[in-house]
Structure 1
Amino acid sequence: MASSFYSNTQHIDFASVLAMNDPGMVSMFQALIASGLEGFLGCTAVVYETALVDFFENASVRDGVIISTVAAQLVEISEEWFAEMFELPVDGLADVSEIPKDKIFYARSIVSMTGEPVILSGLKSQMKIHYRLLCNIMAKSISMKAGSFNALTVEKFSLMTAVVCRVKMNWGRVLFGILKKMVTSGTKQAKGFAIQISLLLANVPNLELGESSEFPSSKILTEKTVHIAVIDKSGAQDADVAPKATKAPKKHTAAVPADVPVVKRKRTTNKKDSSSKDNLELMAVAQEAVPIQMIEALPLLLMMILLTNQQ
């Protein structure tokens, strides 16, 4: 199904996200615009599913040009047309591996949540929230690499560095190179760019595309959905939004005031009276130390009680 070509994609409604009351997020989206990726990540979100299936089933690369058959019609996509359609920059570095090492080192501190340089073999939870979202965008909408989206790889971070540090990139060549890998058999490159390919096919003269499908709104980053998108839909969640572990319920015991004495039962008998078994008395004996004077007075007190009972 064509939906597999955009199951992980995150498209951007730039007008909406730039109106957010979140300086960090807004600055990140402004950096994407400054990099020249706005036309690619924010183009009209329409999908022609039948045409997409045809395109990927029949596509191949010949002399640097992507050729396919869609609805029994030949389609050719060149790097120049691809870059022109999305207004992508064509000057600068043509490979993210060419980004200077000092830029990458500098970016590792900029994006860090703690200020310490992030570890490239670690997880994206090391980074500030808005840079985690940038990592998602680079992984899901640009590189389209399968695997864990929470892992912070060198390739993903190099793409992020290009945006964060405003490195001049030939995005036309970089993105077209990824598209060529998508249609080349034997590569591990996941298929994607569903919206962008649909737009390209829609601009092929006399090409019958069939009915268009509305792109899922849940996959479009807007002012309302941008924070939800920080959660990785691959099955894992960021550390700051992960559910907390539940603690075992505590056993509740009845509280006993400290000043309440423990009462013990003491049986007293009257040896002179045969019915003394019926004259049992309960006396409260306090746990606290009893003054000596009270101990000496106890026999007299007991005598008075016994006399009273006999009367």
Structure 2
Amino acid sequence: MASAFITNSYQVNFDSVLGISDHEGMLHMFKALEANGLRGFLGCESVLYEKELEQFFDTALIQDGDITWAISGKYFSVSQSQFADVFELPTKGLVSFSDVPKHLVYKARSIFLQSGEQVSTHGKKRLMKYEYRLLNDILAKALTVKAGSFDVVTNERFHIMTAIHFGLKVNWSKVLFSVLKEMVDKTQKKSKGYATQIGVLLKIIPAITMGEGVPFPISKILSIKTVNTYIAINLTIDAHGQSDEPGVTDVAVVKRKSKSKKKSETTDETPVEIISEVAGSKKRPAAEDSALVIPKKRRTVKGKASLDVVPVAQDVLPLQIIEPTPAATVVESPAPKRISMKRRLVLPTGSDDEIMDTQEPVKDTDEIAEKHNDEIDDIIGHIIAETSKMGSDEKEQEE
């Protein structure tokens, strides 16, 4: 159960990190934390008392500004002044970090960033130098105790980093004790933390018999080894962010629209290579066993383009365009309609002989129509014969 209270937590081994010699920025950052009076709080005894820690958060409440809790049926309390004495915290200075001078915040905007440019106080921590990335995590996990991802630096944490970097006086006893009161307040959904610090508070009370302690996870204790690992991880992250992903190529999405006379074809939007093939050429290479014919060379043209492979029979002649002959120009209108269909029926008023006279023109008209149709058939036959002759001549020339 204690693991839930150390998820967002850090401890600092100052004796180790103050011996860093290969990273000047990290060394200055830890010296600034020590100068701000946070060594006693961040570097306290790293031991967890799981049973007592659970009882503390289950029973703790706020009374008259103090924190009261019960362990083994006995009630205990701690005030802000006692809290400050145990961890040797400063009792004077800033309480609200919004009071950090603006000109110092302006300087920090270029000091904290890798590029040295002026960047907003709210943004990704990967833009910052490694020592200030780690300082952001220490503030979020060990001091203010926030849950969730710490990839983004908030305005509040940026102002706290500014105060620590420039050595401003901060009333850490009030700031940190207020955070602890928020943790025990049941009306607020504050993340639980200060696991080792609460153990130190309970251990100094003679009336409390402490159980067996558990060492704090080494991975959460900042030493030379863990700091170097932190730097190596961030170097890898930066290198991965600057390099392009290998093996990824962009595929162009080409909209193809046929330019045929019929405008009812749809537009095809698929990732394809921009390669067009010429369809409908006069000469087609012969293929054995009626195989599919695929051109060896691919050309890009502005005419009709198609990506489909068209099967072509071996002995079929291609369609030829024939210039119109003078005889063909005569046949332009459709076959004439029968005149009898347009005649109006008129009832005869005379004798039977007169009726026979009126029917004779119809018979003559039928004969004229049949004669005209015969002429049309002759013209069509002539055109077909000419077409066949020209196709045979062209085939002989190709052979």
| TM superposition score category, shorter chain reference | 0.7 to 0.9
Q: Match for residue 5 of structure 2?
A: 5
Change in CA separation of 1:90 and 1:117 when aligned onto 2, cut-off 3 Å: same
Partner Cα distance (1:106, 1:249) in 2:
41
Tell me the CA shift for residue 238 of structure 1: 8.1
Partner Cα distance (1:216, 1:228) in 2:
16
Partner Cα distance (2:73, 2:235) in 1:
44
Partner Cα distance (2:196, 2:142) in 1:
10
CA-to-aligned-CA distance 1:207-258 (integer Å, 9 cap, x gap): 02211011011100001111334589xxx998426576651299xxxxxxxx
Question: Structure 2 counterpart of 1:80, which letter?
Answer: S
Q: Would you say 1:159 and 2:191 are equivalent positions?
A: no
Secondary structure of the residue aligned to 1:226 is helix
Change in CA separation of 1:238 and 1:149 when aligned onto 2, cut-off 3 Å: farther
Considering Cα pairs closer than 8 Å and 6+ residues apart, tell me whether 1 or 2 has the greater RCO: 1
Confirm or deny: 8 A CA contact 1:16 1:222 kept in the other structure.
yes
Q: Match for residue 213 of structure 2?
A: 212
Secondary structure of the residue aligned to 2:193 is coil
Change in CA separation of 1:50 and 1:228 when aligned onto 2, cut-off 3 Å: same
Q: Match for residue 102 of structure 1?
A: 103
Q: Pick one of 234, 237, 240 that aligns with 2:238.
A: 240
Change in CA separation of 1:170 and 1:117 when aligned onto 2, cut-off 3 Å: same
Partner Cα distance (2:64, 2:232) in 1:
41
Secondary structure of the residue aligned to 1:119 is coil
Using the size of structure 2 for normalisation, the TM-score is 0.59
Confirm or deny: 8 A CA contact 2:8 2:147 kept in the other structure.
no
- Matches of residues 73-84 of structure 1 in structure 2 within 5 Å? 73-84=74-85
Q: Match for residue 283 of structure 1?
A: none
CA-to-aligned-CA distance 1:185-217 (integer Å, 9 cap, x gap): 222321100010110000111202211011011
Secondary structure of the residue aligned to 1:93 is coil
Partner Cα distance (1:112, 1:167) in 2:
20
Change in CA separation of 1:39 and 1:45 when aligned onto 2, cut-off 3 Å: same
Question: Structure 2 counterpart of 1:58, which letter?
Answer: T
Q: Match for residue 202 of structure 1?
A: 203
Larger mean CA deviation between 78-87 and 219-228 belongs to: 219-228
- Matches of residues 8-87 of structure 1 in structure 2 within 5 Å? 8-21=8-21, 22-87=23-88
Change in CA separation of 1:229 and 1:6 when aligned onto 2, cut-off 3 Å: farther
Partner Cα distance (2:49, 2:145) in 1:
19
- Over alpha carbons, which structure has the higher Rg? 2
Question: Structure 2 counterpart of 1:139, which letter?
Answer: A
Partner Cα distance (1:201, 1:182) in 2:
16
Change in CA separation of 1:249 and 1:182 when aligned onto 2, cut-off 3 Å: closer
Change in CA separation of 1:211 and 1:103 when aligned onto 2, cut-off 3 Å: same
Unaligned runs of 5+ in 2: 250-399
Partner Cα distance (2:32, 2:8) in 1:
22
Secondary structure of the residue aligned to 2:20 is coil
Change in CA separation of 1:32 and 1:165 when aligned onto 2, cut-off 3 Å: same
Tell me the CA shift for residue 147 of structure 1: 2.4
Using the size of structure 1 for normalisation, the TM-score is 0.75
Q: In the comparison of the two structures, how many residue pairs are matched?
A: 247
Cα RMSD, aligned residues only: 2.2
Change in CA separation of 1:157 and 1:108 when aligned onto 2, cut-off 3 Å: same
Partner Cα distance (1:138, 1:110) in 2:
18
Secondary structure of the residue aligned to 2:225 is coil
Confirm or deny: 8 A CA contact 1:118 1:127 kept in the other structure.
no
Secondary structure of the residue aligned to 1:145 is coil
Partner Cα distance (1:80, 1:229) in 2:
35
Identity between Structure 1 and Structure 2 (%)? 43
Question: Structure 2 counterpart of 1:105, which letter?
Answer: Y
Secondary structure of the residue aligned to 2:62 is strand
Tell me the CA shift for residue 119 of structure 1: 2.0
Partner Cα distance (1:19, 1:206) in 2:
39
Secondary structure of the residue aligned to 2:151 is coil
Partner Cα distance (1:60, 1:148) in 2:
28
Tell me the CA shift for residue 102 of structure 1: 2.2
Confirm or deny: 8 A CA contact 1:125 1:238 kept in the other structure.
no
Partner Cα distance (2:236, 2:155) in 1:
19
CA-to-aligned-CA distance 1:122-180 (integer Å, 9 cap, x gap): 11111111111111111110110112211110111122111111111000000001111
